[in-house]
Structure formats: structure tokens, C-alpha cells
Amino acid sequence: MNDRELRKALAELGLPRRRRVSAQELATALAAHRGRPLHLRAVDFPPKANGGVVRTRKFDLLCYPKNGWPIERRNAFAHEISHLLLDHTGVSLHSQDVLRSLLAPNIAPEVASRLLCRTEMDTPEEQDAETTGMHLARHHLTYELPDRAWGATPEQQGVVRGLLHSLNLNEVL
């Protein structure tokens, strides 16, 4: 999905055209559009893992890194939510029990049906999600993610916002 197609898809979700949106705003709009709940969860991933989507019969669970630089966390979130924007099918969970247990340990294997995760970039779905995620992160998302916005307290976030505003760097927000 190129940036023009992405802007159209975001507009179809009812999101504003002229400002960046938070991860929560995008997730809420996408869940409403798809007609199924989308739960976001920050996960302390082991090395070389940084996100995934678990689909169940009743809801989807998007996991993104709990720790790391804000740009890395935002990019991982953008990649994973791009799988849902692009309606990717993913892989059967039967072959991914280890990943399922990491991402969704409280969801029984028979309840979860599909898994979308960044393992290798050699499939068309992964390449599409990466390209779409890069456009999404670069032009449409703020750095704020649920559970740990910028890794700072609300007071610290206010100071950073004020500083960025005074430097005329509002697009970073």
C-alpha cells in the first residue's frame, strides 16, 4: 500500500487527514471499521522479536515492544497494525505455539486461530506490511503508544511537547 492508498484507507476509518493520530486512535477506528475488538498489549520481547498479531474467533490482539526507543516501538506497532489494515491472513497457530505462548499466554490454542508476526521479510505479506508500516509511522502516527507513552511521565511528556512546540517541531507530536 503506497502513501496515497494509505491516506484513503485512513480516511475511510474516519481519521483526520491533517494531523497525526495515536496508536490508540488508530486501533479504535480500525476495530470499529472491522466490527471486532482489537486489544493492544505491550510485551517484553526476547531479542529478535518485536511484535505480532494474534487473531481469535472473537477479537484480535496486537502486541508491540514494551521497551526500546520510541521510534522502534512506533515502527513495530505500525508494521503489526498494517497486517490488519491490509487484511493479511497470517499463519496457522498450530505451527507457531511458541510465539502464541509469548504473545497471548492466556488465550487457549483452540481459541486463537491465526498469527501474524514479523519473523522474516521474505514473504509478500511481510514486505507489504513493512512498506505500509513505514508510511504509517513516518506520516500518520504520533510516538504515543498505550502503556508507555515516550517512556515518560505525563508531566515530562508535557515538557517535551512544550519544547517541541517552541521549536516549531509539532509534526513530531
Q: Are 141 and 74 in contact (CB under 8 A)?
A: yes
* Long-range contacts of the stretch 131-134 (C-beta < 8 A, 24+): 131/1, 131/2, 132/1, 132/6, 132/78, 132/82, 132/85, 132/86, 133/75, 133/78, 133/79, 133/80, 133/81, 133/82, 134/75, 134/78
Query: Comparing C-alpha atoms, which of 131, 7, 159, 154 is closest to residue 75?
Result: 131
Q: Which three cell numbers stand for residue 33?
A: 471499521
Residue-wise pLDDT for 108-160, tens only, equals: 555 454 544 545 566 788 889 889 999 999 888 887 776 644 444 566 556 65
Determine which helix (DSSP H) or strand (DSSP E) holds 132, and give its type and residue range.
helix 124-139
DSSP of 13-32, one letter per residue? Answer: TT--SSS-B-HHHHHHHHHH
Q: What is the pLDDT of residue 28?
A: 93
pLDDT tens digit sequence for 120-133:
566 788 889 889 99
The domains of the chain are located at 3-148
The pLDDT value given to residue 162: 65
Quote the CA–CA distance of 12 and 7 in Å, as a whole number.
9
C-alpha–C-alpha distance, residues 61 and 119, integer Å: 17
Q: Would you state the pLDDT for residue 110?
A: 53
- Given this model, what pLDDT does residue 155 score? 63
Task: For residues 98 and 96, give the distance between their C-alpha atoms in angstroms, rounded to a whole number.
Answer: 6
Distances (CA, A) of 12 to 15, 56, 72: 7, 24, 27
User: pLDDT per residue over 22-69, tens digit each?
Assistant: 999 999 999 999 999 998 888 887 776 778 887 777 888 888 888 888
Per-residue confidence band for 15, with pLDDT thresholds at 50, 70 and 90: very high
Model pTM? 0.71
